[in-house]
Amino acid sequence: MKRSSRLSLALHALVHLHKQPEEAITSTTLAQCLMTNPVVVRRVLGTLREAGIVAASKGHDGGWRLLRPAAEISLRQVYAAMGESLLIRTESDPGDIQCGIVRTVNSVMGDFLADAEALLAARLERVSLDDIARQATPNPLHPHHGAHHHG
């Protein structure tokens, strides 16, 4: 896996969990689907566990399960849980504070990014895990790939 955000990974894993609600799925199995390492899976799902989205059980037949129905899990919750920003963090250089222009640019950029972040979150709220899962089921070979419903 190269440089893809943990958010996609989390969503992918969650859809798998949703599609197989009968039994818990192990990190190793998920890692094969996601083409990554079991430890990476645990890291990602671990943060989702802290957010109350999934639960892990140890021992025999242990593994991961969803804690809530997929229709009640919004992408926003997953997004928030991951603590990730879809936006690039444009750190302000500490040495520049002497220059008023830097402060202004940083301030404008910061305000803008905060606004944008809220906007993105509002949009993510409208998509649920179930929405994604339903898109994945019907035609796995001919995805529409256009105009979905999140606009």
Partner DNA sequence: GTTTCATGTAACTTTTATTGTTACATTGCT
Partner DNA sequence: AGCAATGTAACAATAAAAGTTACATGAAAC
122 binds a second copy (CB under 8 A): no
Q: H or E segment at 122?
A: helix 100-125
Contact 40, 10 (CB under 8 A): no
Among 54, 62, 85, 130, binds a second copy (CB under 8 A): 85
CA distance 52 to 77: 10
Q: How far is the CB of 146 from DNA (least distance, A)?
A: 27
CA distance 94 to 102: 10
Tokens of 103: 């402060």
* Residue 125 burial (10 A CB sphere; 0-12, 13-18, 19+): middle
Q: Select 24 or 102, whichever has its Cβ closest to a second copy.
A: 102
> 74 by DSSP, 3-state: which?
strand
1 binds DNA (CB under 7 A): yes
Q: Which does 142 bind (CB under 5 to 8 A by kind): DNA, a second copy, none?
A: none
Interface with DNA (CB under 7 A) = 1-6, 26-28, 36-40, 42-43, 45-46, 49, 56-64
- Given the rule CB under 8 A, which residues bind a second copy? 1-5, 7-8, 11-12, 15-16, 19, 33-35, 84-93, 95-96, 99-109, 111-113, 115-116, 119-120, 123-124, 127, 131-132, 135-136, 140-141, 143, 145, 148, 150-151
